[in-house]
């Protein structure tokens, strides 16, 4: 069970585990957000603790600045960004059939001293299109790129919540979905 952790000024900080939330609440470092649904009531011999779907720190935490629209490259992130569809033929693919294709071939990037695994150089690809393109340029392979290869447009927290199936309706206001 995941809980959305908010800073004292109600800005989202992280999605945390139930265990971490209980620790923050029991130590009086956080409090439940008013009107947040209660997910569970934790009981001990001396106290009961209501665990809400969102908790707020009682102090302002100095979080390092992280651009909400830029996250580290990953193949799962590329598949999510492209909607699990081939970037060339737009065929819907199950996760197990997805591959990452480099628009500018990896060997060319290595030769030029560039990072091949970047958001702007990778797309989701099916096996048929991957075999057709090989180590060639888009023009030489005769394929047309039909998706936008760039940074994902959703924030890291939204992506993480969707990936783990924990994006709750009440979080959407704070995550600006």
pLDDT digits (tens, 9 = 90+) for 59-70: 998 876 665 556
Asked whether 25 and 16 are in contact (CB, 8 A), the reply is: no
Domain ranges in the chain with CATH number 3.40.1800: 75-141
Q: List pLDDT tens digits, range 127-153.
A: 999 999 999 988 999 999 998 888 876
Q: How far is CA 109 from CA 4, 39, 106, 121, 144, in A?
A: 39, 49, 5, 10, 20
Cα–Cα nearest to 88, from 51, 46, 134, 43: 134
CATH of domain 75-141: 3.40.1800
Tokens 């990778």 -> residue: 122
Q: List pLDDT tens digits, range 21-38.
A: 999 998 999 999 988 899
Asked whether 47 and 99 are in contact (CB, 8 A), the reply is: no
The pTM score is 0.61
pLDDT of residue 64: 64
């Amino acid at each position: 069970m995941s809980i959305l952790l908010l800073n004292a000024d109600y800005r989202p900080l992280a999605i945390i585990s139930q265990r971490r939330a209980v620790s923050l609440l029991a130590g009086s470092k956080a409090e439940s957000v008013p009107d947040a649904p209660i997910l569970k009531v934790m009981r001990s011999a001396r106290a009961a603790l209501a665990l809400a779907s969102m908790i707020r720190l009682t102090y302002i935490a100095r979080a390092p600045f992280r651009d909400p629209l830029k996250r580290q490259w990953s193949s799962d992130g590329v598949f999510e960004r492209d909607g699990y569809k081939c970037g060339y033929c737009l065929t819907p693919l199950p996760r197990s059939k997805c591959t990452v294709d480099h628009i500018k071939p990896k060997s060319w990037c290595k030769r030029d001293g560039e990072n091949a695994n970047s958001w702007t150089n990778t797309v989701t690809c099916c096996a048929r299109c991957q075999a057709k393109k090989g180590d060639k340029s888009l023009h030489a392979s005769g394929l047309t790129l039909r998706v936008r290869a760039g940074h994902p447009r959703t924030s890291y927290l939204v992506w993480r919540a969707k990936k783990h199936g924990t994006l709750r309706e009440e979080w959407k206001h704070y995550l600006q979905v």
